[in-house]
Structure 1
């Protein structure tokens, strides 16, 4: 049995905390909202993020970060991308005071705004070796709602330290949740972040009334873009045909559970981006990631026409139909070029 601090009580953090508790571990869930902590601990629900889902009665939550960290063998970050650095700084202060050195895991999917860094890079920058062991990325095709229902799910635990990845693999494995290990941290994180961009496009196509052929074309060519940019940063090409590549792309581009798909769907139906984000009530990681991917593609001189089109719609208020027409009228090329 391990002692685990799960940081972030959104839908994914709550479900992972609940799963780890069911697997026999001692788990404390941290949220910065005292009322949410009280609801989880006393009522065994998290209605804002997981309506009608009943949590394990032993799961406790706290709004005090140090309390969550006490005795932790593993600290699991499941906070929004733009909050990761700030939370990491607070975790360092707590671990330093407690004189603990846990394995650090993150299960968020995005690139940091402004710096465009992967989250393992952010964590490594903020958390000195004295406060942590390895950093592990947990990622793959996984909607919180499906995991909550016990649907069969497979993910990847990626780390430069294979032994640490194997430790995290064993923490999560059960009869419906299977974890594979990988040492290609760059590929796993890039795949996880960039698929959200393509999911916005997939949702927009659905909102516009396009059919399955169109969606298949978008996903296939979107994966080509993801792979090109990932490889430019040192990822292994084969990672993108794995769980954190094509697997995550499929689930995010085809499910109503995906916030990025839902955001795109509303855009396709004519809603403004501001209205979409207001209606969502939760973070839509793909919006910020689109800007990051567009700028990284410019930096690395990587051809990403679909990402560019989505950037034009989100950040330059260009017409979706016009962008689709521009994509289709580009000069012909070899498929694998």
Structure 2
């Protein structure tokens, strides 16, 4: 089948070198290099600047991008990818480039598949393409996305969201997961798996898998709580209760609850669960211990209980999580 033209939007003031460059390089790597032994024809990739001349001004290291394509080519593409938007449009709420927003709307109306990586979701949202849809972005920016665009159902945990004709991903490597997902949709699992192998990355991390955010709550600034929380982390394999922690802190259960919530923003039981999940993640990432032993050492109990909590809070099974971190 013909997979068509992929237009990657490059705003003129993208910050190079930076994470923006990494996210822009992902679709270039996946769609820009022909793979005739896997599929022929391959994608027709076009870097599309948002203004005439250079796609961006030289950055602090003298790096600049130029492209022969512009916003008119965005409108004519089969797939449009927005890897990122200028930081001031996210951090300071400055207006999105009007020409870009108009081009995204026209491309969608013409039937293009619309894709964002990381903060590119802000551009799709500004164009109204995420209204009434589930979407994601890097977890550091999802609160701003939800506040600025209340009609968007923002999910701050997943790697990517596939809404059919509109797809969004979290930041950095999650963009690679989404691009490989597009290849899998277009050309099948075999092609996507072989391409992932050539890139030396996991063949498939499902979109529902959680962004790998540290689930452990930061240590409290409250000096009175620090010793007991440190002790609890060292004894997660024991059956701990809120009363146990309160007694060790020489507080009533009610006072301990109030102090911990004020210091960490979470309840004692949720704090314990987060610590246990974080311990299980570390063991799965760094050891070959059986799932049953991981459940025991993390205090999550049986293998079935560990799987239950992983599926609910991390989005994948312990086995799938381990496979994403080959040792």
Both proteins in one fold, TM over 0.5: no
Determine which structure has greater relative contact order: mean sequence separation of CA pairs < 8 Å that are 6+ residues apart, divided by chain length. Answer: 1
- In terms of Rg, which structure is larger? 2
TM-score w.r.t. the length of structure 1 is 0.38
* Bigger fraction of residues in helix: 1
